[in-house]
């Protein structure tokens, strides 16, 4: 199925995430109702407020498209064209008043991501890309870094929600990279991690056990910025898969070598 992603569609999505993001910013200093989906996985009323607004707008303007969203929304997901939405990526940060969180929307057409938009409301930064048309931060084209040596690279990662109960919790990889790179950071928003790698703020990113909405938009932005994205063994990246390794391309094999150490 051929779907043409027009400038009008891109503008619609950017306007949508900006409106919702600016609306959510008003709630950052207000009391939040926090519910737990797991021992460390939480959700607030603002996640649901954001999702309701986004889903309603997408259904109105694109009634034939499916929608897959984090907070238990699966609308016509068997359709060959569907939106993939993270209404608030970085909920733990948001709940604690830490201004590191994003809103992410991607468009998937027959298993290919053709549009990705990630908005950071606290910095008013919109990362966006269309397949084959490059990646942008607001209106400026972006590209990955040129760091060639892992020892000089600034890396970013995250930890799964089952970190307390699973031995496959990324702490071993974190320790390995901490002593082999310039430094390792953890922000708490996978979408932001991918975008920051896309624009050269980070040189490489890895993580496990993410969901499609965590990485769909950011993965396209990273690729369109000239980056390389695979699983830990270098196999093709899949937003429904279990692993993501995203780099500037120059340190990709160096990071793979560390990730595959046993």
Query: Are 133 and 18 within one domain?
Result: yes
Q: Do residues 105 and 117 lie in contact, with contact meaning Cβ atoms separated by under 8 Å?
A: yes
Query: Are 216 and 235 within one domain?
Result: yes
* pLDDT for 62 beyond 70: yes
Query: Which pLDDT value is given to residue 160?
Result: 82
Q: Is residue 89 part of a domain?
A: yes
Q: Point out the least confidently predicted range of 69-73, 91-95, 132-136, 149-153.
A: 69-73
Q: What is the mean pLDDT of the chain?
A: 91
Query: Are 88 and 193 within one domain?
Result: no
Domain end marker among 121, 141, 161: 141
Burial of 97 (0-12, 13-18, 19+ CB in 10 A): exposed
pLDDT band at 34 (very low <50, low <70, confident <90, very high): low
Query: Are 116 and 182 within one domain?
Result: no
Query: Are 12 and 72 within one domain?
Result: yes
For residues 194-219, average pLDDT: 97
* pLDDT for 4 beyond 90: no
Q: What is the CATH number of the domain that holds 245?
A: 3.40.190.80
Total domains, the chain: 2
Query: Which pLDDT value is given to residue 52?
Result: 92
CA distance 206 to 226: 17
Q: Is residue 1 part of a domain?
A: no
* pLDDT for 1 beyond 70: no
Q: Percent of the chain at pLDDT above 90?
A: 77
Query: Which pLDDT value is given to residue 40?
Result: 46
Q: Do residues 34 and 91 lie in contact, with contact meaning Cβ atoms separated by under 8 Å?
A: no
Non-local (6+) Cβ contacts of 35 within 8 A are 42, 43, 44
* pLDDT for 31 beyond 70: no
Domain end marker among 124, 141, 158: 141
Per-residue pLDDT tens over the stretch 97-108: 899 999 999 999
pLDDT band at 262 (very low <50, low <70, confident <90, very high): low
Query: Are 49 and 137 within one domain?
Result: yes
Per-residue pLDDT tens over the stretch 121-161: 999 999 999 999 999 999 999 999 999 999 999 999 999 87
Query: Are 177 and 118 within one domain?
Result: no
Query: Which pLDDT value is given to residue 70?
Result: 79
Question: How crowded is the C-beta side of 103, counted as CA atoms within 13 Å?
Answer: 30
Query: Which pLDDT value is given to residue 163?
Result: 73
Query: Are 120 and 231 within one domain?
Result: no
Per-residue pLDDT tens over the stretch 171-181: 999 999 999 99
* pTM (two decimals): 0.92
Query: Which pLDDT value is given to residue 74?
Result: 76
pLDDT band at 47 (very low <50, low <70, confident <90, very high): confident
Query: Are 137 and 155 within one domain?
Result: no
Query: Are 109 and 189 within one domain?
Result: no
Secondary structure in 3-state letters for the chain: CCCCCCHHHHHHHHHHHHHHHHHHHCCCCCCCCEEECCCCCEEEHHHHHHHHHHHHHHHHHCCCCEEEECCCEEECCCCCEEEEEEEEECHHHHHCCCCCCEEEEEEEECCEEEEEEEEECCCCEEEEEECCCCEEECCEECCCCCCCCHHHCEEEECCCCCCCCCCCCCHHHHHHHHCCCCEEECCCCHHHHHHHHHCCCCCEEEEECCCHHHHHHHHHHHHHCCCEEECCCCCECCCCCCEEEEECCCCHHHHHHHHCCC
End-to-end alpha-carbon separation of the chain, Å?
43
Q: Is residue 179 part of a domain?
A: yes
């Amino acid at each position: 199925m051929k779907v043409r992603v027009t400038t009008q569609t891109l503008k619609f999505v950017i306007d949508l995430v900006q409106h919702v993001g600016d609306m959510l910013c008003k709630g950052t200093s207000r009391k939040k109702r926090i519910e737990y989906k797991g021992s460390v996985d939480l959700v607030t009323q603002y996640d649901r407020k954001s999702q309701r607004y986004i889903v309603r707008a997408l259904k109105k303007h694109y009634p034939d498209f499916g929608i897959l969203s984090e907070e238990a929304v699966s609308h016509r997901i068997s359709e060959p064209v569907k939106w993939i939405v993270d209404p608030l990526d970085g909920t733990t940060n948001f709940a604690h008043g830490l201004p590191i969180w994003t809103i992410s929307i991607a468009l998937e057409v027959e298993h290919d991501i053709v549009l990705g938009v990630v908005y950071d409301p606290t910095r008013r930064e919109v990362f966006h890309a269309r397949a084959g048309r490059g990646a942008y931060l607001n209106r400026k084209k972006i590209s990955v870094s040129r760091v060639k040596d892992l020892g000089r690279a600034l890396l970013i990662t995250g930890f799964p929600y089952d970190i307390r109960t699973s031995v496959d919790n990324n702490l071993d990889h974190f320790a390995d990279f901490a002593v082999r790179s310039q430094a390792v950071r953890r922000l708490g928003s996978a979408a932001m991690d991918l975008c920051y790698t896309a624009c050269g703020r980070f040189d490489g990113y890895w993580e496990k056990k993410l969901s499609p909405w965590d990485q769909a938009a950011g993965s396209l932005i990273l690729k369109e910025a000239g980056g390389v994205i695979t699983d830990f063994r270098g196999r093709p990246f899949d937003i429904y898969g279990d692993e993501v390794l995203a780099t500037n391309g120059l340190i990709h094999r160096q990071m793979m070598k560390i990730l595959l150490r046993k």
